[in-house]
Structure 1
Amino acid sequence: MIVHIWRHPKPIAAEGFCIGQTDLSVDRRKLKCLANKIQRFVRLHRLPKVIWVSPLQRSLRVGQILAQHGFECRMSKELAEIDFGIWDGQAWAQIEKQEIDDWCDNFAHFAPDNGESLQQLFNRAESWLNKVAAEQNDMPVLAIGHAGWINAAKMIAASQEVPKLANEWPRPVGYQSCSRLEF
């Protein structure tokens, strides 16, 4: 199975904040720009007009624009970014240094209160990929996702383990960039 997944456009006022499932808005022009980019890609490669999105508006709203242009928009909670629990939406500077150190030292399994660990994100991503692969009959999959989720999926595609230390985590993919994953 081949998955083409775009990272959502840059949200408004996210700089310096821990953003996982905090539902930030995005400039409408940026949403339209990504929707146009995906439409051109689909036309060029003659792909089905089906797009998977997360429930977070920075992904979902692009899917809604595409739906106005004949796409089938499928929403899945499994595509959402990692849940940082009580950290989500807070300024990084306000999160206790010891908690961040604990996370960095146990990167795979640490989870902020009411949040999820990186291992849980990997499990969720792998579950979605397996489910979609079973439904797709070798058809390419198009999706709009989030940096952490995309990095996890890339590592799964490369048969890599969940990083145990923070310095093993790859840099985030760029906003509105497309990653091609083969499973």
Structure 2
Amino acid sequence: MILYVWRHPRPIAAEGICIGQMDISVDKRKLKRLANKIERFVRLHPLPKIIWISPLQRSLKVGQILAQRGFECRVAPELAEINFGEWDGRPWTQITKQEIDEWCHNFAHFAPNHGESLQQLFERVGGWLVKVSAEQEDSPVLVIGHAGWINAAKMIATDQEVPKTAAEWPRSVAYLSCNRIDVSLKKRPLC
């Protein structure tokens, strides 16, 4: 299965803030810019006008613009960014050094209060990939996603384990970028 995954536009006033599933605004022009980019891509590479989107507004609002242009938008909670729980929406400077150290020492399994661990994110992403590949094995899949989700999908697609240290986690993909991910489910189970 081939995924074409675009990262949502840069949120407004997000600098220095821990953002996971916090619903944060995006400039309307940037939403339209991404919608235009996706629409042009679909036209250039005759692809079905079906796109999967996260329920978070930085993805959802791009999907709503595309829906007005004839796209079928499928909202999937599994596409949401990692849940940082009580950290979500807080400045990184207000998260204690002890909490950050705990996260770094147990990178795969640590979860902030009421949040999810990286292991749980990988299980959620892997489960969605299995489900969608069973439904659309031969057709490319279009997605508007989030940096953590995209990195997890890339690592799963290349048969990598959940990172055990923060140093093993890749850099975030650029806002508005299109990422092609080739997923072969014949390698090993994703979850």
What's the TM-score once normalised by structure 2's chain length? 0.95
- Aligned structure 1 segments of 4 or more residues deviating by more than 6 angstroms: none
Over residues 35-80 of structure 1, what are the superposed CA-to-partner deviations in whole Å (9 max), with x where a residue is unaligned?
Answer: 0000000000000000100000000000000000000000000000
The aligned residue for residue 171 of structure 1 is 171
Over residues 21-46 of structure 1, what are the superposed CA-to-partner deviations in whole Å (9 max), with x where a residue is unaligned?
Answer: 00001000000000000000000000
- Corresponding letter in the other structure for 1:10: R
Q: Percent identity?
A: 74
Moved more, 131-140 or 154-163: 131-140
CA–CA distance in structure 1, aligned partners of residues 38 and 104 of structure 2: 35
CA–CA distance in structure 2, aligned partners of residues 178 and 119 of structure 1: 25
SS of the equivalent of 1:52 reads strand
Moved more, 131-140 or 28-37: 131-140
The aligned residue for residue 100 of structure 2 is 100
The aligned residue for residue 141 of structure 1 is 141
Paired residues, number: 183
- Corresponding letter in the other structure for 2:172: P
The aligned residue for residue 46 of structure 1 is 46
CA–CA distance in structure 2, aligned partners of residues 24 and 84 of structure 1: 14
- Corresponding letter in the other structure for 1:17: I
Over residues 117-163 of structure 1, what are the superposed CA-to-partner deviations in whole Å (9 max), with x where a residue is unaligned?
Answer: 00000000000111000111310000000000000000000000000
CA–CA distance in structure 2, aligned partners of residues 175 and 46 of structure 1: 24
SS of the equivalent of 1:19 reads coil
- What does 1:84-163 correspond to in 2, within 5 Å? 84-163=84-163
CA–CA distance in structure 2, aligned partners of residues 71 and 135 of structure 1: 18
CA–CA distance in structure 2, aligned partners of residues 37 and 178 of structure 1: 9
Unaligned runs of 5+ in 1: none
- Corresponding letter in the other structure for 1:169: W
SS of the equivalent of 2:5 reads strand
Instruction: State the shift of 1:106 in Å.
Output: 0.7
Tell whether 2:32 aligns with 1:32.
yes
CA RMSD of aligned residues (A): 0.4
Tell whether 2:111 aligns with 1:81.
no
CA–CA distance in structure 2, aligned partners of residues 103 and 92 of structure 1: 13
Unaligned runs of 5+ in 2: 184-191
The aligned residue for residue 59 of structure 1 is 59
CA–CA distance in structure 2, aligned partners of residues 134 and 110 of structure 1: 31
What's the TM-score once normalised by structure 1's chain length? 0.99
SS of the equivalent of 1:6 reads strand
- Corresponding letter in the other structure for 1:140: P
